[in-house]
Amino acid sequence: MGSALEEMGTVISTFEGPTTVVFSFVVGSKNVRKGQFVQVEAEDGLVLGSVSEITRANRYFESAESVAEYERSSPMSTNFPTTDWEYIIANVRVHGMFKGGLMIRSTFPVAPGIKVHSADEELLKKFLHFEENGLFLGTLANHKLEAKVNLNKLLQKHLAILAMSGSGKSYLASVLIEELMERKAEKGRMGIVIIDSHGEYAGFRSSQYGKSVSIVDGKKIRIPLRKIAPALLFTWMPDASSQQKRELEKIMLELKKDGEQTHNSYGLSELVEKINASENLDKKSKPALLGWVGEIRSLKLVGKEEYPKIGELVKPGCASVVDLSGIDGEKKKQVIVSYVAKKLFSMRKKEKIAPFVLMLEEAHNYAPEKMTRKVALAKGAIETIAREGRKFGASLCLISQRPVHLSVTALSQCNTNIILRVTNPNDIKRIGESCEGIDDAMLSSITTLRVGEALLVGEATGSPVFIKVRQKKSSWIPKGQDLEEIARKFEEAIVKKKTEVEAFL
Ligand SMILES: Nc1ncnc2c1ncn2[C@@H]1O[C@H](COP(=O)(O)OP(=O)(O)OP(=O)(O)O)[C@@H](O)[C@H]1O
Ligand SMILES: [Mg+2]
């Protein structure tokens, strides 16, 4: 195995090591990079580690005084063989040792003088728990190894995709959706439901995956009145008196009873009829209640029948995009997300629908940590899936650019995290607290990642690793992302209008 692998250098004896957890080697290859995995043949087995830091040194340049002195006349390199004296030292963190096909804890240091090689990719694959049939998310940084993660490990205990705006969260989510749609039935497929806050995923419909994708226009979503608790209606009636609320509650109960007896569904019109017919409401209360119900009607959310049928959103290997981009009210979006999440989970518990993953863009809006003034109507439903979903095949993929505002309960249940570039110190801190196995060096690397580069950490990988997210296979024009384009089109439209008016005159 070792002969085909590139030689990286020679283990040296230093003050710190070699120990069972760290060693250093003097670099003999141009290809050594921070984060790279290396292996060393030791007495007890094959030791696997990764380069944690690299130092470059040169005796010629050690004394600031003499460097300054020499460089005043001419560069030192013209008079001395300075490049011959340069050497590079790489520090390695030991991950473990392979012995008899198993990864065990390293119990004896590697020997100084021994050669270090680039890690064998089969070995690495085993160590990282990647598998041939896994979901292909990208390639390992510094290696050709494909990061193909096990579906169970990635999703069963929930996934969080965290990063600042513009670093590639939605792109990665699209890659994941492609992988889920491409799975063969015999491997086990899930249904995918995407809560699409900005209408970014609708393009899937016109891609090669179109047949497996359905789009739900958020403006057409209707929740049947019978599924709406009076308490929720009250949130739209801030000025209602407790007596008025009690009456409305009674009327809703009556409607429910009637509905159950006659098997007829009912909506706001039926509610209005009941209010009109009520004899318990005084002169002021009746028009007030009717006024509020009118306002609720204008939301265009509450109806007689459910649309879309929530159960139909989940089909194995297919994706349903719930496009909320056309909806203005934050509260209305929350009511929708709450309803969809609750219903999906309850149907899944009864095994009426396939296992599913609910992908939630802007997750911090729906499951916020703090509820200052803002309502958080969907938080309970999301936290319930986060806590109990894994037992029933109900998974969450929380996507957020503000991890610090995301519910700690929900985030801590996400056993796999994929983190792209993050620079905000508060967000970094939260990520450090919520992700097990992430160290300070990794946290600081997160701030320097480029678009599409990510740290994969948690259940889905044997060890935290940096990956480059693979290219998306589907392509479509992203909606309104290019500011120049938007500005140009806006002006063009004005000019066009003007010429049209002039032509008319
Ligand atoms: N892996 C990648 N390869 C190539 N291009 C990418 C990759 N990831 C992201 N991009 C590009 O970078 C831009 C931003 O990506 P994306 O929209 O996914 O960011 P985001 O994190 O979802 O941002 P926001 O928080 O604003 O939603 C897009 O134009 C996208 O095409
Ligand atoms: Mg996005």
Both tokens of 236, joined, read: 């739209």
Whether 170 lines ligand 1, by a CB cut-off of 6 Å, is yes
Rounded CA-CA distance 505/495 in Å is: 15
Residue 359 has a pLDDT of: 98
Q: Is the pLDDT of residue 4 over 80?
A: no
Atom of ligand 1 nearest to the CA of 453: 1
Contacts of 92 (CB under 8 A, 6+ apart): 22, 23, 24, 25, 38, 49, 50, 51, 52, 116
Residue 394 has pLDDT above 70, yes or no: yes
Ligand 1 within 6 A of CB of 48: no
Query: Confidence class of residue 1 from pLDDT cuts 50, 70 and 90?
Result: very low
Task: Report the first-to-last Cα separation within the chain, whole angstroms.
Answer: 83
Rounded to two decimals, the pTM is 0.89
Cβ–Cβ under 8 Å, residues 90 and 22: no
Give the H/E segment covering residue 89.
strand 86-99
Provide the pLDDT for residue 477: 58
Give the whole-number percent of the chain exceeding pLDDT 90: 71
Residues 248-286 have pLDDT tens digits of 999 999 999 998 999 888 999 999 999 999 888 888 889
Tokens 């009210």 label which residue?
329
Could you tell me what percent of the chain has a pLDDT over 70?
97
Rounded to the nearest integer, the mean pLDDT of the chain is: 91
CA distance 202 to 182: 18
Which of these, 218, 191, 162, lies nearest to 362 by C-alpha position? Answer: 162
Exposed e or buried b per residue across 357-384, where buried means at least 16 C-beta atoms within 10 angstroms of its C-beta: bbbbbbbbbbbbbeeeeeebbbbebbbb
CA neighbours within 13 Å on the CB side: how many for 457? 21
pLDDT (mean) for 309-334: 94
Residue 243 has pLDDT above 80, yes or no: yes
Q: Pick the ligand that lies closest to the CA of residue 482.
A: 1
Q: How many CA atoms lie less than 13 Å away from 404 in the CB half-sphere? A: 10
Cβ atoms within 10 Å of 200's Cβ, excluding its own:
22
pLDDT confidence of residue 488: 82
Answer whether residue 314 shows pLDDT above 50. yes
Phi, psi of 419 (to 5 degrees): -115, 120
Length of the chain: 505
Instruction: Report yes or no: 128 and 146 within 8 Å, Cβ to Cβ.
Output: no
Domains and CATH numbers, the chain: 2-128 (no CATH), 148-221+307-469 (3.40.50.300), 225-301 (no CATH)
Site to probe by mutation for ligand 1, drawn from 136, 161, 170, 479 as the one with most ligand atoms within 8 Å of Cβ, is: 170
- The pLDDT value given to residue 491: 87
467, 138 Cβ separation under 8 angstroms? yes
pLDDT reported for residue 235: 81
When pLDDT is cut at 50, 70 and 90, the band that residue 3 belongs to is very low
Q: Which two tokens stand for residue 400?
A: 């957020």
pLDDT in tens, 408-451: 999 999 999 999 999 999 999 999 999 888 888 889 999 999 99
Q: How confident is the model at residue 167 (pLDDT cuts 50, 70, 90)?
A: very high
Is a pLDDT exceeding 70 seen at residue 480? Answer: no
Tell me how far apart the alpha carbons of residues 413 and 205 are, in angstroms, rounded to a whole number. Answer: 32
Residue 231: what pLDDT? 84
- Contact at 8 Å (CB) between 315 and 191? yes
Classify the phi-psi angles of 263: left when phi > 0, otherwise alpha if psi is within -120 to 50, otherwise beta.
Answer: left
Confidence band of 229 (pLDDT split at 50, 70, 90): confident
Q: What average pLDDT score do residues 456-471 get? A: 95
CA distance linking residue 210 with residue 474, whole number of Å: 10
Question: Is residue 102 in contact with ligand 1, taking CB distance under 6 Å?
Answer: no
CB atoms within 10 A of CB 467: 23
* Ligand 1 pocket, mutate which of 167, 171, 421 (most atoms under 8 A from CB): 171
Q: What is the pLDDT averaged over residues 99-115?
A: 91
Strands 135-140 and 115-118: unpaired
Q: Quick one: average pLDDT of 106-121?
A: 94
> Above 90 in pLDDT, residue 385?
yes
User: At 2, is the pLDDT very low, low, confident or very high (cuts 50, 70, 90)?
Assistant: very low
Strand order, beta sheet including 191-196: 146-149, 135-140, 465-469, 453-458, 416-419, 159-162, 394-400, 356-360, 191-196, 319-323, 213-217
Residue 372: pLDDT band (50, 70, 90) is low
Rounded to whole angstroms, the Cα distance separating 137 from 149 reads: 8
Low-confidence winner among 99-113, 335-349, 491-505 (lowest mean pLDDT): 491-505
**Is it the case that residue 146 has pLDDT exceeding 90?**
yes
Pairing mode of beta strands 319-323, 191-196? parallel
* Atom number, ligand 1, closest to the C-alpha of residue 171: 18
State in Å: Cα 200 to ligand 2 middle. Answer: 7
Question: Cα of 188 to ligand 2 centre, how many Å?
Answer: 28
Question: Rounded CA gap, 482 and 490, in Å?
Answer: 12
Q: Which pairing describes strands 159-162 and 319-323: parallel, antiparallel, or unpaired?
A: unpaired
Beta bridge partners of 222: 307
Q: How many helices (H) and strands (E) does the chain have?
A: 16, 20
Angstrom distance (rounded) from CA 291 to CA 280:
17
Cα–ligand 2 centroid distance for 383 (angstroms): 22
Instruction: Output the pLDDT for position 137.
Output: 97
Please report where in the chains the tokens 């194995």 appear, as a residue: 316
Mutate to test the pocket of ligand 1, among 196, 398, 422, 451 (most ligand atoms within 8 A of CB): 451
Give yes or no for residue 171 CB within 6 A of ligand 1. yes
Give the pLDDT mean for 397-411: 96
What average pLDDT does this structure show over 462-481?
A: 82
Ranking 14-23, 40-49, 74-83 by mean pLDDT, the lowest is 74-83
Cis preceding-peptide flag for 308 (omega within 30 of 0)? yes
Does the beta carbon of 168 lie inside 6 Å of ligand 1? yes
CA angle, 114 as apex, 113 and 118 as ends, to 5°? Answer: 135
The per-residue pLDDT for range 201-223, each reduced to its tens digit, is 998 998 999 999 999 999 999 99
Question: Are 251 and 244 contacting, i.e. CB atoms less than 8 angstroms apart?
Answer: no
Pairing of strands 302-303, 465-469: unpaired
Q: Which helix (H) or strand (E) holds 429?
A: helix 425-434
Contact 138 CB / ligand 1 (< 6 Å): no
